[in-house]
Chain A
């Protein structure tokens, strides 16, 4: 096939990018080379629109062993233990083929983690769908949940937490973000940097097929009406093979045979081989006839661009080939020596004794395009004034029931019951709490993880929204008694070529950066997904933040269920009555304008750290962060979980009941304490200048407000549990 500008454009490259390729090579690339450039230079692999801004994020900290740039981030959790973790998107494929798209998303992120030598110990996910009324939503939700479960359950890794939301902006572009945590010994971490000359390059895992060719390019483009035609670009997952690959890799990693290892994810053999040689400042030579293929007559182009799953590339120490092969034979996996490292600093490919590609590695990596895209700064919207007559007729209990049954608040049990969340025998906090918690096997330590996003806030004001998501992650970890350590981010946005979408990205990233810097909650890994866009309409900006924290003794973990009648319930943090962009404003008043709640980083940090002091002193019996739906929603959920009631008296504030109960001011928690501890708790809070309200006391089984209105917890529980079940089973 003759390569020209049009062929390059068909590969998703821009005309000037093609010109740059010809200039760098000083000739016209052949079709295999063009395929390699298109795979490496697309948005998904090159981060060409985002790199400039991501550089500004805080990525360092005392506990950070490895920041962004590797397969996943690594943090220190003491005693020579480390946690490897990352979140990644699989949005485009999941919309086209929900089961396989979601399944391979989970498979891919687990591979990123065990590539580094860590055994995966927990999975999480953040999934976002269109309006429940949209004709595709139900099937997409079902397919995605089955896919996530199908892969994770088979791997035997518990899915411990997640987040699901519905918003019409995802009607044509759902989001599927998968996160994995792995456990590794600090001195047994593996990296992707190749080293040494003439070292054997090994291919292991599944055979290479024609599936997923151009997957990464597809993920770097907007959708249009021809989207269904892109089904063949979606990879097909085989969790059984991945389970074998996991065990085989960990077995090989127990020894000292591996110099570098890299999974074949997006852009398959292309990106893995280039990444390893680029990091090692080496060249790599591959004989493509040696690559195990699933189908006959695959061309070099297809072999290099296939995104078949469950494959790894390894640079071995010389002489270790037989030892390694034995292990992969035992696990019935393909093993092939396909090439070697060279000093050429080029990627050189041979097929049928002919050289089919010859590209300097730096042209693909360092010289890849980087854009300073135009972006538009968002204005802070004006506050709305709630009119008295709009809320006069509202009854708190009725509104509460509606909010508990709102698709974005309701119980997601239908979803997480389909995920094995108890395998590995260390899950001590199951899905449905503020964060999932797993013990570090055989120790007293536990690791908490949560994944959060607040697209509505980010849409209303990206800078504030970006800060808020990081704070919410911080709060969720603290609510289970964990000290927050670090985060991973999955940045889901519309087209970077649209100034408004690019502005959302830039300002969300700025907000994330500011909050993570202030809270000492650095970003150690992540992924950007642009072009979540159908025709010219982008999704609401949806940065998802995966937070990880440590509980030194798992017996001190906190859960959100109310524990004991007569215990006192306090609200930590000040309630100002911010209603704009709250669930109440958007869904009850149908008011979609206004600014999101303000984020005060000082309060956020101070309140959080004071909470940890209370927990260290064993003063907290249950805790929950206040988020969507405000104080009353948070309290109702604690009642439902604990099968207890509460007698609430609104503190004497200037704001009215509606504002007090439904406002979504930030930096707040609900806690349960023993009556006799009140003085101690109040002292600690006062000493640290943390505002708190006494909300009431726990009762048997009804929620009372100001002794006037009441509702049984069973009724609230029914409102909360039924929506999703009914929706899916209708």
Chain B
């Protein structure tokens, strides 16, 4: 399986994603934001970080960079595109997934482990996953998902919510919402479910010596689904 990780100026989880993808069998290429063409890929990842310093709205500058037109075309033709953290912020700025990401409710950066419940398994990201709940890691300042009522209705009607913040047993309640996200949303799909944006970093959970191993389950399952 071939993957590509896009490096924007200010990306800082690009290497971590490269390490994770390779660990689970992807042949990964790093792609520079100013390139026009995407290499042939089964999966394209927009990594975390602070693209262009996030000095404008998070992800907005990156969403206009040269490579993104190819990424958008790739996504629109059904290609698998995953945006993690800043990558998710870039995805909402392109409009590939609906909604926006606001500043965290308590106005502070949060770095910690959280639990997320998988809402939908009829897609290539979570199909065949045994778990209902993953322990993932978050590290962000703007992960507070928001959208209009009309958008929310559409998202729910199409079952586009990918994961919600919850407790270790999968209970989705306000007290387990780290950043104020609408409906505890931690990640959403586009309508066709080939594009996934999520705040948590599975690439930081690929080793028992690190924060945990649920990221390994996610990547192992993902590569199998793509085969």
B25 surroundings in chain A (CB, below 8 A): none
CB-based contact B209/A244 at 8 Å: no
Q: Could you jot down 30 A-B contacts, CB within 8 Å?
A: A153-B50, A154-B10, A154-B50, A154-B53, A154-B54, A156-B13, A156-B49, A238-B53, A239-B50, A243-B9, A243-B10, A243-B12, A244-B9, A244-B10, A331-B9, A417-B109, A418-B111, A420-B139, A421-B111, A422-B204, A422-B210, A423-B139, A424-B15, A425-B19, A425-B204, A425-B207, A425-B210, A427-B210, A554-B209, A555-B209
CB-based contact B111/A419 at 8 Å: yes
Of residues B112, B141, B206, B209, which shows the largest number of chain A Cβ atoms within 10 Å of its Cβ? Answer: B209
A-B pairs with lowest CB-CB distance, top 7: A156-B12, A240-B53, A425-B16, A154-B50, A420-B139, A418-B109, A428-B209
Of residues B20, B206, B207, which shows the largest number of chain A Cβ atoms within 10 Å of its Cβ? Answer: B207
CB of A455 closer than 8 Å to a CB of B:
no
CA distance A201 to B48 in the complex (A): 36
C-beta contact mask, A526-568 vs B, less than 8 Å → 1, else 0? 0000000000000000000000000000110000000000000
CA distance A305 to B63 in the complex (A): 38
CB of A332 closer than 8 Å to a CB of B:
yes
Given contacts A417-B109, A421-B111, list 15 more A-B pairs with CB under 8 A: A146-B108, A146-B109, A156-B12, A240-B53, A243-B10, A244-B10, A416-B111, A418-B109, A418-B110, A419-B111, A422-B139, A423-B48, A425-B15, A425-B20, A425-B207
CB-based contact A417/B110 at 8 Å: yes
CA distance A427 to B141 in the complex (A): 20
CA distance A332 to B9 in the complex (A): 9
CB of B74 closer than 8 Å to a CB of A:
no
CA distance A204 to B150 in the complex (A): 50
In the complex, the chain A residue whose C-beta lies closest to that of B110 is A417
CB-based contact A424/B16 at 8 Å: yes
B55: which of A153, A240, A439 is its contact (CB, 8 Å)? A240
In the complex, the chain B residue whose C-beta lies closest to that of A439 is B209
CB distance from A156 to the nearest CB of B (A): 2
CA distance A238 to B10 in the complex (A): 11
C-beta contact mask, A225-253 vs B, less than 8 Å → 1, else 0? 00000000000001111011000000000
CB of B211 closer than 8 Å to a CB of A:
yes
A439 surroundings in chain B (CB, below 8 A): 209
CA distance A331 to B52 in the complex (A): 11
In the complex, the chain A residue whose C-beta lies closest to that of B48 is A423
How many residues on the B side are at the interface (Cβ–Cβ under 8 A)?
A: 31
CA distance A153 to B12 in the complex (A): 9
CB of B193 closer than 8 Å to a CB of A:
no
A268 surroundings in chain B (CB, below 8 A): none
B137 surroundings in chain A (CB, below 8 A): 422
- Pair count A-B, CB < 8 A: 85
CB-based contact A422/B12 at 8 Å: no
CB distance from B91 to the nearest CB of A (A): 20
CB distance from A112 to the nearest CB of B (A): 20
CB of B135 closer than 8 Å to a CB of A:
no
A427 surroundings in chain B (CB, below 8 A): 210
A418 surroundings in chain B (CB, below 8 A): 108-111
B48 surroundings in chain A (CB, below 8 A): 423
B13 surroundings in chain A (CB, below 8 A): 156, 423
CA distance A420 to B50 in the complex (A): 12
CA distance A241 to B112 in the complex (A): 27
CB distance from A343 to the nearest CB of B (A): 40
CB of A149 closer than 8 Å to a CB of B:
yes
Of residues A155, A238, A417, A554, which shows the largest number of chain B Cβ atoms within 10 Å of its Cβ? Answer: A417
CB of B203 closer than 8 Å to a CB of A:
yes
CB-based contact B139/A153 at 8 Å: yes
B53 surroundings in chain A (CB, below 8 A): 154, 238-241
In the complex, the chain A residue whose C-beta lies closest to that of B207 is A425
A423: which of B16, B20, B54 is its contact (CB, 8 Å)? B16
Residues 418 to 461 of chain A near chain B (Cβ within 8 Å): 418-428, 439
CA distance A156 to B112 in the complex (A): 15
CA distance A154 to B86 in the complex (A): 11
CB-based contact A240/B211 at 8 Å: no
B111 surroundings in chain A (CB, below 8 A): 153, 416-422
CA distance A509 to B189 in the complex (A): 60
CB distance from B205 to the nearest CB of A (A): 9
B20 surroundings in chain A (CB, below 8 A): 425
Residues 13 to 63 of chain B near chain A (Cβ within 8 Å): 13, 15-16, 19-20, 48-50, 52-55
CB distance from B46 to the nearest CB of A (A): 15
CB-based contact A420/B16 at 8 Å: no
CA distance A332 to B201 in the complex (A): 28
B210 surroundings in chain A (CB, below 8 A): 422, 425-428
CA distance A240 to B8 in the complex (A): 11
C-beta contact mask, A150-190 vs B, less than 8 Å → 1, else 0? 10011110000000000000000000000000000000000
C-beta contact mask, B102-119 vs A, less than 8 Å → 1, else 0? 000000111110000000
Of residues A149, A156, A243, A425, which shows the largest number of chain B Cβ atoms within 10 Å of its Cβ? Answer: A425
In the complex, the chain B residue whose C-beta lies closest to that of A154 is B50
CA distance A554 to B211 in the complex (A): 15
Residues 395 to 426 of chain A near chain B (Cβ within 8 Å): 416-426
A416 surroundings in chain B (CB, below 8 A): 111
CB-based contact A425/B10 at 8 Å: no
C-beta contact mask, B192-227 vs A, less than 8 Å → 1, else 0? 000000000101101101110000000000000000
C-beta contact mask, A292-336 vs B, less than 8 Å → 1, else 0? 000000000000000000000000000000000000000110000
A146 surroundings in chain B (CB, below 8 A): 108-109
A554 surroundings in chain B (CB, below 8 A): 209
